């Protein structure tokens, strides 16, 4: 197996090496022994890639991350930005109950970006994908004034039905797996110009989605699922709306980890707001029949409840409608 870290990185900027030099440099970084996996029938370098799909259907999701909106190059190293860009799409695949197989990536970048930035970002993409056994099979690069990364991921349901947002039933248990509020608290720390607590800053820079929990939830009979990218209340709101149920969360069910307590105290914030409305952690939230055994790592945090008006399915906390800031949305 080649060691990508040992490969030399061309010096200078994208303008110095040009489009095809950049493509060569990125392809070299992205090629790993895993690219010979059974999922990749034709890898990078042609008009398109070919990915095996054993089960008769393929899951696909796309996410674009924009400099200054989703990431800041002064707040996270290129490697972490690459991991985060891959995680956003890989978590969506997991949230359908699927196994991620392949990524394609479009990088739009100004000419004065350093080649080393782009290759380290590619290292991050590659390593995050490798966590779930997926590889980067293709991509595109373009000159732009603003840095952005568009990641599209493919997944294989392996014969399972996709777990959508629309299957929750009244009486279902609402359960979460993974960190909540950590990334938002990390962002609050960075926004104030600080670099610690490191655990929170790192949680923002490099989310740790519980990928295996997505498949485990599907196997355990989850009736609905999504990943928490915009904030728990906002994202279970999608399940509520699509399933035409209400969702009531119990605030006492949420453990408030020590670093969140400490920073919230210092900033005069209620840490529950980060937990309920903070985005970027890519936890999994799912609904399960009341009789189901919750998979390892899932914690029950609420219940699907009846609604009088299906068009106004809402999320409540301890029986009260949630009126706090409602998670991340663009153009607000």
17 binds a second copy (CB under 8 A): yes
Of residues 35, 102, 176, 275, which one binds a second copy by CB under 8 A?
102
310 binds a second copy (CB under 8 A): no
98 binds a second copy (CB under 8 A): yes
Of residues 4, 34, 53, 316, which one binds a second copy by CB under 8 A?
53
Enumerate residues 115-144 that contact a second copy by CB under 8 A.
137-144
261 binds a second copy (CB under 8 A): no
256 binds a second copy (CB under 8 A): no
Which residues have CB under 8 Å from 70's CB, separation 6+?
84
DSSP 3-state assignment of 294?
coil
Cβ(224)–Cβ(218) below 8 Å: no
Question: Which residue, 113, 89, 84, is CA-closest to 26?
Answer: 113
Neighbours of 271 (CB within 10 A): 22
Q: Which is nearer to a second copy, 263 or 315 (CB)?
A: 315
Enumerate residues 226-245 that contact a second copy by CB under 8 A.
226-227, 242
Which region, judged by CB under 8 A, interacts with a second copy, from 152-160, 190-198, 249-257, 297-305? 152-160
CA 155 to chain centre: 14
- 212-240: b (≥16 Cβ within 10 Å) or e: bbbbbbbebebbbbbbbbbbbbbbbbbbb
Distance CA 207, CA 182 (A): 9
82 binds a second copy (CB under 8 A): no
Distance CA 154, CA 60 (A): 5
Cβ 155 to a second copy shortest distance, Å? 7
146 binds a second copy (CB under 8 A): yes
Q: Which is nearer to a second copy, 208 or 242 (CB)?
A: 242
294 binds a second copy (CB under 8 A): no
145 binds a second copy (CB under 8 A): yes
Residue bearing tokens 């609905």 = 224
Distance CA 224, CA 288 (A): 8
49 binds a second copy (CB under 8 A): yes
38 binds a second copy (CB under 8 A): no
Which region, judged by CB under 8 A, interacts with a second copy, from 157-165, 246-254, 290-298, 315-323? 157-165
Q: Is 290 exposed, middle or buried (0-12, 13-18, 19+ CB in 10 A)?
A: exposed
154 binds a second copy (CB under 8 A): yes
């Amino acid at each position: 197996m080649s060691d990508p870290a040992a490969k030399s990185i061309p010096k200078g900027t994208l303008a110095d090496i040009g489009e095809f030099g950049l493509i060569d440099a990125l392809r070299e970084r992205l090629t790993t022994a895993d690219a010979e996996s059974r999922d990749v029938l034709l890898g990078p370098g042609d008009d398109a890639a070919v990915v095996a799909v054993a089960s008769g259907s393929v899951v696909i999701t796309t996410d674009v991350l924009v400099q200054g909106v989703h990431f800041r190059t002064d707040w996270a190293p290129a490697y972490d930005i690459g991991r985060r860009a891959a995680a956003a799409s890989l978590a969506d695949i997991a949230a359908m109950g699927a196994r991620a197989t392949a990524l394609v990536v479009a990088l739009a970048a100004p000419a004065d970006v350093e080649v080393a930035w782009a290759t380290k970002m590619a290292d991050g993409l590659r390593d995050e994908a490798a966590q779930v056994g997926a590889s980067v099979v293709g991509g595109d690069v373009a000159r732009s004034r603003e840095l952005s990364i568009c990641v599209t991921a493919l997944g294989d349901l392996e014969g399972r039905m996709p777990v959508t947002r629309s299957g929750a039933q009244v009486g279902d248990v609402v359960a979460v797996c993974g960190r909540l509020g950590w990334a938002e608290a990390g962002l609050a720390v960075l926004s104030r110009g600080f670099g610690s607590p490191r655990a929170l800053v790192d949680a923002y820079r490099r989310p740790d989605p519980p990928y295996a929990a997505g498949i485990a939830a599907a196997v355990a009979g989850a009736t609905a699922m999504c990943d928490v990218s915009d904030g728990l209340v906002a994202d279970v709101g999608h399940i509520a709306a699509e399933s035409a149920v209400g969702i009531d969360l119990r605030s006492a069910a949420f453990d408030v980890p020590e670093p969140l307590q400490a920073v919230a105290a210092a900033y005069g914030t209620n840490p529950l707001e980060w937990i309920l409305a903070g985005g970027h952690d890519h936890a999994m939230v799912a609904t399960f029949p009341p009789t189901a055994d919750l998979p390892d790592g899932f914690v029950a945090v609420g219940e699907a409840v009846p609604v009088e008006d299906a068009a106004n399915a809402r999320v409540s906390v301890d029986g009260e409608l949630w009126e706090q800031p409602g998670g991340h949305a663009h153009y607000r």
